[in-house]
Amino acid sequence: MTVGPFPVSAAIARLRSHAPALLAVGSAADLATALAQQPRVAVSAYVTAAEVGRAIKYTGPLTIQNCDVTLRVVLFVRHYGDEQTGGGARVQMDEEVIPQVRAALFGWAPVDAFDALSFQAGRDESYAAGWLVSQQVFGTNYRMSHQVIP
């Protein structure tokens, strides 16, 4: 029986061990909360997940449903070089932080029940006061199954 959800804590542990550029990695309740953070260290990440279920199927008393998962890694880089344009932060984000995050998560699966993570999107969110905020978005899916007891 698998009923999810995606183990965000496993993705956080993976980033902590495989992306040394990230000085702090944590979770956030949702994307808006992650984007609103003011990290205490110069390179930080917050991880959120969202799930969407597909059509439900029945096989006798067994209920089956495929679920798509979106894993968002919200990255913060503080860099004062080229502060007015964010050029220094951009270089650090592109040359150090994003490659480590992608190497840590692309192709990885937390447990056998989940397909490997695939890269879906990368986008910048904002730049202000030396902070560049960017997202790396990954996707996976899994099958929920549950024995329905009348």
> pLDDT class for 134, splitting at 50, 70, 90?
very high
Written as six digits, the tokens of 14 are 């993976």
Domain 8-147 fold: STM4215-like (3.30.2000)
For residues 19 and 105, what is the distance between their CA atoms, to the nearest angstrom?
A: 10
Q: Are 79 and 61 in contact (CB under 8 A)?
A: no
The domain ranges of the chain are: 8-147
User: Chain-wide mean pLDDT for the chain?
Assistant: 91
> What is the arrangement of strands in the sheet containing 43-59, beginning at the earlier edge strand?
24-27, 43-59, 62-78, 131-147, 118-128
- Is the entire prediction scored with pTM above 0.95? no
Using alpha carbons only, what angle is made at residue 119 by residues 29 and 14, rounded to the nearest 5 degrees?
60
Residues 55-93 have pLDDT tens digits of 998 888 888 999 999 999 999 999 876 677 888 899 999
